[in-house]
Amino acid sequence: MSRLSRPARLTERGGGGAALGAAGAADADGLRVAVRHEPVTGPSSPEREGLLAAPERERRDRLLRPADRAAYTAAHALVRECAAELLGVPAAALDLKQTCSACGGAGHGRPALVGHPEVGVSLSHTDGHVAAIAAVQVATVPDATVPDALVPLAAPGRSAAPPSAPAVGIDVERVREVPDAVLTARERAWVAAAPDPHAAATSLWVRKEALVKAGALELTQLGGCDVLDTDALGDDGPASAALGHALRGWSGDGVVGAWSVPEVGPRRPGAGQSKSKIEFRS
């Protein structure tokens, strides 16, 4: 099992005030990930507004609160921007679809990029804050002229396995009270002893939500899934891995967030020399 080696880092993004963008860094098997989160302080730019497709704008316009409409637009733009960065295409070239696994309906549920089955995406919005993630499985190309070039397995000219999107999930929430029922007994004890129990509980909650969005956990299983880890000094804290997924979190500005990616991506058939790495782009 790979251990995530470098700490997540925060990078400033353009825009007003204490804008947060984020990227983590880690090692695993050839996964390239873009993660961003940022506050939403007002309506989106016309450029971002223009990224949304008609069904998304219709759904957004049904939201009653202006803040909810702004967050919806920002999140749906942000996830395109994450994927655009990985694919090297303009965000405006990407279309998002959502399909509900429960009712089969469109416009809600797990998001996917139209025409890019190799890219996993997830997005989240809460009051005044949004977050998005995109990930693609890559292989190191043995090309001396392009050292360490990373190319999607589904790139043209590669007779690789059929593309499959890495199962990713991201969640951002305002710090809040979390029902005991979604925590294990060990987690409840850790939360009760924490300096800020609500922040501690929310940090566990968003990890579980990220795992749910990645399809690794059912909503009915939250109270049985422990996402606490014990470090070398014997201190408990939010886990950096669970259920075969790497977990990373952040906090600040009154929100707590977390995202998950598969710890080890699908293996390329017959490949033995691909470098073991996840590369995170900010």
Which residues of this protein are in contact with Zn ion, per CB under 5 A?
A: 100, 102-103, 105
State which residue, 107 or 179, has the beta carbon closest to Zn ion. 107
State which residue, 66 or 105, has the beta carbon closest to Zn ion. 105
What's CA 55's distance to the chain center, in Å?
Answer: 23
CB of 262 to Zn ion, least distance (A): 25
Q: Mention every residue, 6+ apart, whose C-beta is less than 8 A from residue 188.
A: 180
Q: Is the dihedral of CA 40, 42, 47, 53 positive or negative?
A: positive
Q: Cβ distance 154 to 118 under 8 Å?
A: yes
CB of 83 to Zn ion, least distance (A): 23
- Main-chain dihedrals φ then ψ at residue 32, nearest 5 degrees: -115, 130
Determine the residue type at 90: P
CA nearest 222: which of 211, 236, 232? 211
CB of 55 to Zn ion, least distance (A): 14
**The token pair that represents 252 in the structure block:** 């600040």
State which residue, 103 or 219, has the beta carbon closest to Zn ion. 103
CB of 101 to Zn ion, least distance (A): 8
Residue number with the smallest Cβ distance to Zn ion = 100
Q: Cβ distance 202 to 227 under 8 Å?
A: no
State which residue, 103 or 144, has the beta carbon closest to Zn ion. 103
CB of 153 to Zn ion, least distance (A): 31
Indicate the angle between helix axes 185-193 and 197-213, nearest 10 degrees.
140
State which residue, 110 or 248, has the beta carbon closest to Zn ion. 110
